[in-house]
């Protein structure tokens, strides 16, 4: 039994069996605003309960809210305080729309570079993931909105997401896939959403060991566990395993109608097992079967009471049961817009910058090339889609900032991100000239025209993008369409070429040696053009760092069919803990990353003094901004474990980091606390183990750019 306060237990005792059953499953929202809705019990003054999608902003059908940058861009700031502020802002937007819970953060580890939802997740590293998940949870819940970390657990691909079994060992679960959820729970998350997939053969909604034994018993999680939408495999099995709330609790057809989902959307076709299938599997489970089953024995009734108490307990915690819930909040508030821009600029990663190609001079004549420059890159497709009230395209942002001329050419066909929704208001927010299918000024896609305008300009800025979505993985890490050809052709003709990549995760950049600068701006959200202009013209230092390794597709550890997408509905996670830089730093030299984890340049240059251990869980280093301009450095500390016979460990693991702002010439001593996570390893027989010995702490600018080191012992 959860530990509800007395009021909640009394309330549970006062409910009839039917009323209890109505509180553990969703229903259609009469107001049509919520993604998930639980009707109240008016007889006992239990109010309605509404859950709205995230994690990139609050999705309310027919309403606009702030479209924040994708979570991977937020993680690229390496500044969890910004994520906490994003949580606060999203909670205030949720409250303004009467939503009590937000379905986010998404915090599955980026295991597969092709995963269609990488943009909704944070990193390939569990320490970064845990920090950002905890920060967003704290922010959301500080405003009395319930956070819903998702999707628990090992939901690392979209291909066959409803059926695939992650065949994953305990060590990898413990070291990589669970820490983000544990941190979110420690931060007080009131809810956790189960994943669609199976883990070692069992659907997550039915996974008693992971849901009850690990999440609830081991981590003392006292909130409620909600299913993913239509992800409840069984009634009794799920309830017994620990699932507390079934969503959406209505049929797929009713959901389409209620939430404006386009029934013809590609990802939702009947029978396509990469999507939500229509028919039998979308029949609500808790509607009838549960009531019949719990009536049979005391254990069933106790479990139902616990489910209800967990949900009511969270409603009570935010003040909903005693009428104290503050529904103030604000949609599209000026400070939310500013935060969206700050996050987008800070998360922008400068991958390459030869001969000071960037920042641009104020009066440079720019050829702005690319099929998406007249449309802000809001995000990927799927449940995280948000409709902002305002959005700024690259074209609008650069035009507003420059003193030079800007000539635009699309070059190639539009790259269209698939949408789950047919919400008319989605088209309402574009820049004046962006609406519709035409390019501004009646331009048509023509690589030669792009080359001609690039030749005339001082600098060509080419903006390229991918198109990723929930429900499908990327077939290739190459950019869609003829964008690579466009970059090559422009780079051949232009004096200087700067490429801006807007992608949901790692992409291949085959032309990178032919261009002068490469900027990764992810899916920057509504502030796209303003944030981009501030980085390109040097008003903001590009202080983002890569939370994922960029490498050729075939060199990732998941580049085998058995590992991804799996064979016979099983994906083998037998790379173990060697995911992301843990693989690249340990593997043969053939598997060199293109840009390593943690990489990102600044317009300033930083010098590192000696590293000094402070006790055994912190390290200090003097960092000097040796340039003549202000800059923001992300100081990173990695731990190299001692060799232990018979134990395979990653070469290094991230233990801590700090983003610091330094004026020209300024020196600061930066202290980094070292997460114990980087020291310990999970041993299948012994559990968490810390080997005695000397651990080298490497301090530097990326997993491959170590500047100084020191040693601590365990």
CB of 246 to ligand BGC, least distance (A): 13
Nearest approach, Cβ of residue 224 and ligand BGC (Å): 15
Active site residue ranges: 228
Residue 80 beta carbon to ligand BGC: minimum distance, rounded to whole angstroms: 22
Nearer to ligand BGC among residue 103 and residue 621 (C-beta): 103
Among 50, 150, 174, 310, binds ligand BGC (CB under 6 A): 150
Identity of the residue, 38 or 635, whose beta carbon is nearer to ligand BGC in the bound complex: 38
- CA distance linking residue 108 with residue 156, whole number of Å: 6
User: Shortest distance, CB of residue 265 to ligand BGC, whole angstroms?
Assistant: 12
Identity of the residue, 411 or 471, whose beta carbon is nearer to ligand BGC in the bound complex: 471
Q: Is 628 helix (H, G, I), strand (E, B) or coil?
A: coil
By beta-carbon proximity to ligand BGC, the closer residue of 417 and 483 is: 417
Cα separation, 291 vs 18, in Å, equals: 8
Contact 157, 104 (CB under 8 A): no
Residue with tokens 């000097």: 624
Task: In whole angstroms, give the CA distance from residue 35 to residue 282.
Answer: 16
Report the candidate in 129, 225, 263 with the shortest Cα–Cα distance to residue 580.
129
The residue within the footprint of ligand BGC, chosen from 33, 314, 353, 383 (CB under 6 A), is 383
Sequence-separated (6 or more) residues with CB below 8 Å from residue 293: 235, 236, 239, 300
228 binds ligand BGC (CB under 6 A): yes
Q: Which residue among 229, 439, 584, 679 contacts ligand BGC (CB under 6 A)?
A: 229
Q: Whose Cβ is closer to ligand BGC: residue 51's or residue 290's?
A: 51
- Residue whose tokens read 């657990």: 153
DSSP state of 68: P
User: Which structure tokens are listed for 400?
Assistant: 């507003």
Nearer to ligand BGC (CB atom), residue 116 or residue 700? 116
Give yes or no for residue 268 binding ligand BGC (CB under 6 A).
Answer: no
Structure tokens at 76: 């690229």
Rounded to whole angstroms, how far apart are CA atoms 94 and 82?
18
CB atoms within 10 A of CB 567: 11
Tokens of 403: 């003193």
Report if residue 37 touches ligand BGC, rule: CB under 6 A: no
**CB of 143 within 8 A of CB of 184?**
no
Which 553-612 residues touch ligand BGC, going by CB under 6 A? none
Task: State the pairing for strand pair 165-167/202-203.
Answer: unpaired
Smallest separation, CB 258 to ligand BGC (Å): 12
How many degrees, rounded to 5, is the angle at CA 502 between CA 370 and CA 391?
80
The smaller minimum CB distance to ligand BGC, of residues 161 and 649, is found at 161
Tell the smallest beta-carbon distance from residue 439 to ligand BGC (Å): 32
- The Cα–Cα gap between 470 and 448 comes to 35
Tokens of 3: 């530990």
Please give the size of the binding site for ligand BGC, defined by CB under 6 A: 7
Nearest-approach distance from CB 558 to ligand BGC, in angstroms: 20
Pick from 495, 371, 494, 381: which is nearest to 440 by CA? Answer: 371
Closer to ligand BGC by CB, 36 or 359: give it.
36
Distance CA 430, CA 389 (A): 9
Q: By CB under 6 A, name the one of 53, 222, 305, 332 that touches ligand BGC.
A: 53
User: CB-wise, 152 or 556, nearer to ligand BGC?
Assistant: 152
Interaction between residue 157 and ligand BGC (CB under 6 A): no
In whole angstroms, how close is the CB of 61 to ligand BGC at the nearest point?
11
Q: Is the dihedral of CA 451, 455, 456, 457 positive or negative?
A: positive
**Residue 272 CA from chain centroid, whole number:** 25
- Measured from the CB atom, the residue of 383 and 675 that comes closer to ligand BGC is 383
Q: In the bound complex, what is the minimum distance in angstroms from residue 293's beta carbon to ligand BGC?
A: 26
Residue closest to 115 by CA, chosen among 154, 157, 152? 157
**Residues 329-368, mask of contacts with ligand BGC (x by CB under 6 A):** ----------------------------------------
The residue (of 26 and 641) whose beta carbon lies closer to ligand BGC is 26
Q: Smallest distance from the beta carbon of 200 to ligand BGC, in angstroms?
A: 21
* Shortest CB 420 distance to ligand BGC, Å: 8
103 binds ligand BGC (CB under 6 A): yes
In the complex with ligand BGC, the residue whose CB is nearer, 525 or 596, is 525
Instruction: Give Cβ neighbours of residue 71 (< 8 Å, ≥ 6 apart).
Output: 55, 56, 105, 106, 119, 120, 121, 122, 132
| Cis peptide, bond prior to residue 66, ω within 30 of zero | no
What is the spatial distance between Cα 322 and Cα 319, in angstroms, rounded to a whole number? 6
How many degrees, rounded to 5, is the angle at CA 614 between CA 611 and CA 620?
35
- Residue 627: Cβ within 10 Å count: 16
Closest residue by beta carbon to ligand BGC: 383
User: Minimum distance from CB of 413 to ligand BGC (Å)?
Assistant: 29
- According to the binding rule CB under 6 A, does residue 35 interact with ligand BGC? yes
Separation between Cα atoms, residue 373 and residue 687, nearest integer Å: 51
Helices (H), 571-617: 581-584
- Please give the helix or strand (H or E) that residue 203 lies within, else none: strand 202-203
Kindly state the helix (H) or strand (E) to which residue 607 belongs, with its residue range.
strand 606-613
> What number of residues does the chain have?
714
Is 469 an interacting residue with respect to ligand BGC (CB under 6 A)?
no
Taking the C-alpha atoms of residue 392 and residue 68, their distance in angstroms, rounded to an integer, is: 13
DSSP character at residue 213: I
Q: Name which of 113 and 382 has its Cβ closer to ligand BGC.
A: 382
Q: Centre a 10 Å sphere on the Cβ of residue 582 and count the other Cβ atoms it contains.
A: 27
Closest CB 383 distance from ligand BGC, rounded Å: 3
* Residue 393 to residue 372: CA distance in whole angstroms: 8
Tell me the Ramachandran region of residue 540: left when phi exceeds 0, alpha when psi lies from -120 to 50, beta otherwise: beta
Q: What is the dihedral of CA 514, 518, 524, 528, to 10 degrees?
A: -80
Give residues in contact with ligand BGC (CB under 6 A): 35, 53, 103, 150, 228-229, 383
């Amino acid at each position: 039994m959860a530990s509800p306060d007395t009021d909640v237990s009394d309330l549970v005792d006062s409910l009839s069996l039917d009323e209890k059953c109505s509180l553990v499953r969703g229903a259609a929202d009469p107001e049509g605003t919520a993604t998930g809705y639980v009707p109240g019990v008016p007889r006992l003054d239990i109010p309605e309960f509404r859950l709205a999608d995230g994690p990139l902003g609050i999705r309310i059908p027919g309403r606009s809210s702030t479209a924040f940058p994708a979570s991977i861009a937020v993680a690229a700031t390496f500044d969890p305080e910004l994520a906490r502020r994003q949580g606060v802002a999203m909670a205030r937007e949720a409250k303004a729309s009467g939503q009590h819970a937000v379905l986010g953060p998404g915090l599955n580890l980026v295991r597969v570079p092709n995963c269609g939802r990488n943009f909704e997740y944070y990193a390939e590293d569990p320490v970064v993931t845990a920090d950002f998940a905890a920060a967003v949870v704290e922010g959301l819940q500080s405003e009395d909105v319930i956070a819903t970390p998702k999707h628990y657990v090992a939901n690392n691909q979209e291909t066959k997401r409803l059926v695939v079994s992650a065949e994953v060992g305990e060590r990898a679960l413990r070291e990589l896939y669970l820490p983000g959820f544990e941190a979110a729970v420690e931060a007080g998350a009131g809810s956790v959403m189960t994943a669609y997939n199976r883990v070692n053969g069992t659907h997550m909604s039915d996974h008693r060991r992971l849901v009850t034994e690990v999440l609830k018993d081991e981590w003392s999680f006292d909130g409620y566990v909600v299913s993913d939408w239509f992800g409840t495999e069984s009634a009794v099995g799920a309830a017994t395993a620990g699932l507390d709330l079934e969503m959406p609790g209505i049929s797929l057809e009713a959901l389409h109608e209620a939430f404006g989902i386009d029934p013809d959307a590609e990802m939702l076709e009947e029978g396509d097992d990469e999507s939500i299938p229509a028919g039998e599997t979308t029949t609500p489970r808790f509607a009838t079967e549960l009531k019949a089953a719990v009536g049979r024995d005391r254990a069933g009734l106790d479990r139902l009471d616990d489910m209800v108490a967990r949900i009511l307990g969270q409603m009570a915690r935010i003040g909903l049961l005693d009428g104290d819930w503050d529904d103030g909040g604000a949609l599209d508030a000026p400070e939310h817009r500013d935060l969206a821009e700050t996050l987008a600029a800070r998360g922008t990663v400068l991958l390459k910058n030869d001969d000071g190609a960037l920042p641009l001079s104020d009066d440079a004549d720019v050829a702005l090339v690319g099929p998406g420059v007249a449309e802000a890159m809001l995000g990927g497709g799927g449940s995280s889609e948000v409709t902002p009230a305002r959005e700024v395209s690259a074209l609008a942002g650069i035009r507003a900032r420059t003193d030079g001329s800007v000539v635009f050419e699309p070059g190639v066909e539009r790259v269209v991100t698939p949408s789950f929704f047919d919400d008319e208001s989605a088209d309402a927010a574009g820049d004046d000239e962006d609406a519709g299918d035409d390019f501004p000024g009646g331009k048509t896609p023509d690589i030669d025209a792009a080359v001609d305008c690039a030749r005339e300009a001082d600098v060509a800025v080419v903006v390229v993008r991918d198109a990723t979505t929930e429900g499908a993985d990327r077939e290739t890490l190459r950019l869609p369409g003829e964008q690579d050809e466009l970059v090559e052709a422009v780079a051949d003709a232009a004096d200087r070429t700067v490429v801006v990549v807007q992608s949901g995760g790692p992409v291949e950049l085959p032309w990178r040696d032919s261009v002068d600068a490469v900027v990764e701006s992810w899916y920057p959200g509504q502030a796209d053009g303003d944030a981009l202009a501030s980085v390109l013209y040097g008003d903001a230092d590009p202080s983002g760092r890569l939370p994922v390794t960029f490498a050729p597709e075939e060199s990732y550890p998941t580049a085998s069919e058995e590992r991804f997408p799996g064979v016979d509905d099983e994906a083998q996670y037998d790379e173990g803990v060697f995911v992301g830089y843990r693989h690249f730093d340990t593997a043969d030299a053939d598997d060199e990353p293109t840009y390593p984890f943690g990489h990102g340049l600044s317009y300033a240059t930083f010098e590192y003094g000696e590293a000094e251990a402070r006790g055994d869980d912190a390290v200090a280093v003097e960092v000097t901004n040796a340039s003549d301009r202000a800059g923001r450095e992300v100081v990173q500390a990695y731990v190299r474990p001692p060799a232990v016979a018979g134990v395979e460990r990653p070469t290094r693991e991230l233990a801590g980091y700090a983003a610091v702002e330094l004026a020209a010439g300024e020196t600061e001593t930066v202290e980094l606390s070292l997460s114990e996570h980087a020291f310990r390893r999970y041993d299948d027989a012994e559990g968490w183990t810390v080997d005695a010995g000397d651990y080298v702490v490497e301090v530097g600018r990326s997993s491959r750019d170590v500047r100084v080191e020191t040693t601590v012992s365990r």
